Amino acid sequence: MCTDAHFCREMMPATRPFLESEGVIRPGDRADRNGNIMGDCIAHVSKSQKSCSYKLNGQIYCFGCGFKGDLIDFVKRRYHLDFRGAAKRLGAWRDSALAQEERSELDRQSRAREEERARTLQAEMEERQRRLALRNEIHQDTQLMKDLSGQLSRDIENETLWECLQLASNCRELTEREYMRACGFEVDF
């Protein structure tokens, strides 16, 4: 028996792609500001299919049945495995008795997971920056509309100010639609 077999945390898959592949969260589901994505629980049948909180760091908690743990616990529960079996299923189990080709393949898979994790984090950061830029644009359009309204209160007959106010209003409405879509809401104004 191999005594140098062990669990290797850095070989764990990226949380979000793994949970999407397991079908408990959808690709379009967004994490809240605390990094939680609500999804279906594997431990019980949930009517809402949103009773379980999945953190992007791998922590899991179900508000319906109280199940809590991490990705290892998730796999253990879903597939009725022990710790070693769950770690192997996740690709996070190292065995010193592996052949060189198997070790190379595991290392390649580990690097691929790490690259996927980095791409996922980068995409999430870029999406967040996009939403922040849109929000800032909405605030700027709102401030412009306030300024124009103030000027119109002093010069109500000024056609140019009325046209500028209409343009600013239209711009803000378009930006709000784009912002709502970026936040994952379907909007029909």
Q: Using one digit for the tens of pLDDT, what is the confidence trace for 71-98?
A: 999 999 988 889 988 898 888 887 766 5
The per-residue pLDDT for 103 is 66
- Start-to-end C-alpha separation, the chain: 66
**pLDDT value at residue 59:** 92
pTM above 0.75, yes or no: no
DSSP SS3 for 33: coil
Confidence at residue 3, expressed as pLDDT on a 0 to 100 scale: 45
Q: What's the pLDDT tens digit per position in 17-73?
A: 888 888 888 887 888 888 889 988 888 887 887 889 999 888 999 998 999 999 999
The backbone torsions φ and ψ at residue 14, rounded to the nearest 5 degrees and listed phi first, read -65, 140
Exposure b/e, 76-101, CB count within 10 A at least 16 = b: bbeeebeeeebbbbbbbbbeeeeeee
74 vs 11, 69, 80, CA distance in Å? 16, 7, 10
Contacts 24+ apart (CB under 8 A), 23-28: 24/52, 24/54, 25/54, 28/184
- 112: its two tokens: 């691929």
* CB-CB contact of 33 with 52 (8 Å): no
Model confidence band, residue 1 (pLDDT cutoffs 50, 70, 90): very low
Question: Most confidently modeled of 48-57, 95-104, 143-152?
Answer: 143-152
Across 1-5, 6-10, 110-114, least confident range:
1-5
pLDDT digits (tens, 9 = 90+) for 109-136: 777 877 887 888 888 889 889 999 999 9
> Residue 61 forms beta bridges with which residues?
53, 68
- Helices within the chain (DSSP H only): 15-22, 71-79, 83-89, 100-154, 159-182
